């Protein structure tokens, strides 16, 4: 009898909760639900093929994931001996479709740079360079002879005019920018300190890895932005895009390298964390990042040569202030 009463009471409570939920909003004339519950305030919805709750119309509809067909890879091979990309043609880069042609900016690394990097046991910056490839269909790529940068006594290569030490170039093309010299914008990973690199030229900027910005009128001739460095902290990875009139920069960092931001709101430490910074004009960036993703619990064992975050737990209120305003003790 008690079990029946509990079941009836629970059913009544659930019914009351759902009765008080606001009506699902209309999105392009369609009432949209998420995970079976109404969305409170959205103008767009993200629907996944494996989601059998959020799609508004499912009658006679069967959803399934199809395996991808792998193309003959690689579509862009390393260069031959003596080429700038003889060791690595590394795509932490960007592909844009401009004027009827695909353009790929990628990282070119030669063999001497890799040997020096391993000789220093990773404690030296790679002499990485930005190279360009082009394609008419996105599958067959060629490396144009740009004739811009002298490499090993010759300008017969596909290097763009950009200083060495650039990693993970993320590029945005804005043909409507009123300044023709800034119609191409780049955010890339740079190194400094014991890793050596472009960050070392900024006095007082004592960080190992952090993004820098650059401008170009044509995607070939690049100059470092005068507002560098845009952030005050370590961050790897440089996903860069524009949405809703604002620029966004995303990256990740090992929480031990960023102890004040590498924490959850309750003060618990975590593993790799993904940050997002916002800017209205590509010049002024938010000082405090938004925590986009956190790996918890940490999936990696403690590194023997790095201090570990989280040896002391922050009070929840202080941790919240740290996350919201970048406060430090």
pLDDT tens profile 31-54: 333 333 444 444 556 666 666 666
Poorest-pLDDT segment among 21-30, 180-189, 242-251: 21-30
Check the CA dihedral 200-206-208-214 and report its sign. negative
Poorest-pLDDT segment among 97-106, 260-269, 286-295: 260-269
Residues 166 and 313 in one domain: yes
Residues 168 and 293 in one domain: yes
Task: Tell me if 88 sits within 8 A of 109, measured CB to CB.
Answer: yes
Residues 49 and 93 in one domain: no
Residues 227 and 304 in one domain: yes
Q: Is residue 81 in some structural domain?
A: no
Residues 106-121 as b or e (16 or more Cβ within 10 Å = b): bbbbbeebbeebeeee
Q: Is residue 294 in some structural domain?
A: yes
pLDDT tens for 292-314 read: 776 655 444 444 444 333 333 44
**Site of tokens 């394609």:** 135
- Binned at pLDDT 50, 70 and 90, residue 5 comes out as very low
The pLDDT of residue 99: 93
The pLDDT of residue 46: 65
Residues 265 and 137 in one domain: yes
pLDDT tens for 80-138 read: 999 999 999 998 899 999 999 999 999 999 999 888 888 876 666 678 999 999 999 99
Q: Is residue 71 in some structural domain?
A: no
Residues 111 and 59 in one domain: no
> What is the layout of strands, in order, in the sheet containing 223-224?
167-173, 184-191, 209-216, 223-224
Task: Tell me if 165 sits within 8 A of 190, measured CB to CB.
Answer: yes
Residues 8 and 93 in one domain: no
Domain of residue 58, residue span: 1-65
pTM: 0.70
**How many domains does the chain fold into?**
2
Q: Is residue 82 in some structural domain?
A: no
Q: Is residue 5 in some structural domain?
A: yes
Which residues have CB under 8 Å from 170's CB, separation 6+? Answer: 93, 94, 186, 187, 188, 238, 239, 240, 241
Q: Is residue 222 in some structural domain?
A: yes
The pLDDT of residue 262: 52
Burial class of 185 by CB neighbour count within 10 A (0 to 12, 13 to 18, 19+): buried
Question: Residue 274: what are its φ and ψ, rounded to 5°?
Answer: -105, 125
Residues 103 and 56 in one domain: no
């Amino acid at each position: 009898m008690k079990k029946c009463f509990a079941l009836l009471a629970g059913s009544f409570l659930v019914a009351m909760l759902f009765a008080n939920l606001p009506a699902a909003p209309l999105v392009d004339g369609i009432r949209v639900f998420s995970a079976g519950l109404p969305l409170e305030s959205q103008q767009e919805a993200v629907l996944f093929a494996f989601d059998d709750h959020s799609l508004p119309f499912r009658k006679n509809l069967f959803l399934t994931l199809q395996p991808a067909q792998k193309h003959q890879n690689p579509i862009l091979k390393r260069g031959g001996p003596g080429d700038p990309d003889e060791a690595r043609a590394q795509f932490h880069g960007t592909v844009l479709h401009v004027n009827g042609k695909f353009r790929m900016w990628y990282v070119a690394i030669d063999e001497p740079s890799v040997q020096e990097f391993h000789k220093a046991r990773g404690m030296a910056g790679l002499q990485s360079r930005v190279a360009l490839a082009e394609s008419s269909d996105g599958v067959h790529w060629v490396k144009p002879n740009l004739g811009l940068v002298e490499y090993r006594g010759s300008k017969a290569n596909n290097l763009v005019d950009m200083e060495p030490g650039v990693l993970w170039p993320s590029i945005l093309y804005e043909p409507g920018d009123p300044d023709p010299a800034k119609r191409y914008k780049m955010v890339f990973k740079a190194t400094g300190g014991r890793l050596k690199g472009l960050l070392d030229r900024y006095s007082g900027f004592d960080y190992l890895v952090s993004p820098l910005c650059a401008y170009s009128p044509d995607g070939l001739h690049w100059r470092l932005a005068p507002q560098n460095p845009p952030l005050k902290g370590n961050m790897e990875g440089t996903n860069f895009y524009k949405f809703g009139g604002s620029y966004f920069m995303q990256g990740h960092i090992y929480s031990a390298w960023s102890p004040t931001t590498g924490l959850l709101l309750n003060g618990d430490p975590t593993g790799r964390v993904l940050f997002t910074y916002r800017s209205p004009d590509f010049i002024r960036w938010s000082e405090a990042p938004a925590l986009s993703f956190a790996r918890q619990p940490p999936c990696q064992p403690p590194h023997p040569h790095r201090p570990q975050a989280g040896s002391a737990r922050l009070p929840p209120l202080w941790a919240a202030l740290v996350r919201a305003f970048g406060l430090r003790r």
